[in-house]
Amino acid sequence: MALGKDYESQRDCTMARGLELVGERWTMLILRDCFYGVRRYSDFFVHLGLPRAVLSERLANLCEQGVLEKRRYQDAPPREEYVLTEMGEAFWPVLAALGAWTTKFAWEPGRRYRTFLHDPCETRLVAYAHCPSCDRAVPAAEVRIVPGPDLPDQPATDPVSVALRRGPKRLLEPLIVTPGGSGAR
Amino acid sequence: MALGKDYESQRDCTMARGLELVGERWTMLILRDCFYGVRRYSDFFVHLGLPRAVLSERLANLCEQGVLEKRRYQDAPPREEYVLTEMGEAFWPVLAALGAWTTKFAWEPGRRYRTFLHDPCETRLVAYAHCPSCDRAVPAAEVRIVPGPDLPDQPATDPVSVALRRGPKRLLEPLIVTPGGSGAR
DNA sequence: CCTGCTAGTTCATTCAATGAACCAACCCGG
DNA sequence: CCGGGTTGGTTCATTGAATGAACTAGCAGG
pLDDT tens figures, B105-145? 999 999 999 999 999 999 999 999 999 999 999 999 999 99
What is the C-alpha separation between B44 and B52, in angstroms, rounded?
10
Pairwise pLDDT comparison (A7 vs B83), residue with the higher score = B83
Bases of strand C lying below 7 A from some protein CB: 4-11, 15-21, 25-27
Helix (H, G, I), strand (E, B) or coil at A42: helix
By CA distance, what is B95's nearest residue in A?
A15
**Residue of A16, A12, A11, A50 whose CA lies nearest to A30:** A50
Going along chain B from its start, the domains and CATH numbers come out as 8-89 (1.10.10.10), 99-127 (no CATH), 144-181 (no CATH)
The per-residue pLDDT for B6 is 83
B90 to chain A, closest Cα gap in Å: 7
Helix (H, G, I), strand (E, B) or coil at B116: strand
Instruction: Name the packing angle between helices A14-22 and A27-36 (round to 10°).
Output: 80
The per-residue pLDDT for B185 is 35
Separation of B46 CA and C20 C1' (Å): 16
**Residue of B172, B38, B146, B163 whose CA lies nearest to A90:** B172
- Residues B19-41 have pLDDT tens digits of 999 999 999 999 999 999 999 99
Question: Residue B185, exposed/middle/buried by CB under 10 A (0-12, 13-18, 19+)?
Answer: middle
What is the C-alpha separation between A156 and B173, in angstroms, rounded?
45
- B48: alpha, beta or left? (left if phi > 0; alpha if psi -120 to 50): alpha
What is the C-alpha separation between A137 and A132, in angstroms, rounded?
9
Helix (H, G, I), strand (E, B) or coil at B118: strand
Bases of strand D lying below 7 A from some protein CB: 5-12, 16-22, 26-28
Residue nearest C14 (alpha carbon to C1'): B1
ipTM of the shown complex: 0.94
A7 contact to strand C (CB, 7 A limit): no
- In chain B, residues with a C-beta closer than 8 Å to the C-beta of A169 are 37
What is the C-alpha separation between B56 and B75, in angstroms, rounded?
21
Backbone angles phi, psi at B120, to 5 degrees: -60, -40
A72 to chain B, closest Cα gap in Å: 13
Separation of A79 CA and D26 C1' (Å): 11
- Residues A19-56 have pLDDT tens digits of 999 999 999 999 999 999 999 999 999 999 999 999 99
**Residue of A159, A176, A172 whose CA lies nearest to B46:** A159
Taking a C-beta distance cutoff of 8 angstroms, is the pair A149, B176 a contact?
no
Separation of A16 CA and C7 C1' (Å): 32
B56 to chain A, closest Cα gap in Å: 16
- In chain A, residues with a C-beta closer than 8 Å to the C-beta of B115 are 14, 146, 148
- Residues A88-125 have pLDDT tens digits of 999 999 999 999 999 999 999 999 999 999 999 999 99
Separation of B13 CA and D23 C1' (Å): 33
Taking a C-beta distance cutoff of 8 angstroms, is the pair B117, B147 a contact?
no
Interacting residues of A140 by C-beta distance below 8 A, sequence separation 6+ = A129, A171, A172, B35, B89, B92
Residue B180 has pLDDT above 90, yes or no: no
Instruction: Provide the 10 A C-beta neighbour count for residue B164.
Output: 24
A53 contact to strand C (CB, 7 A limit): yes
Nucleotide nearest to A53 (CA to C1'): C9
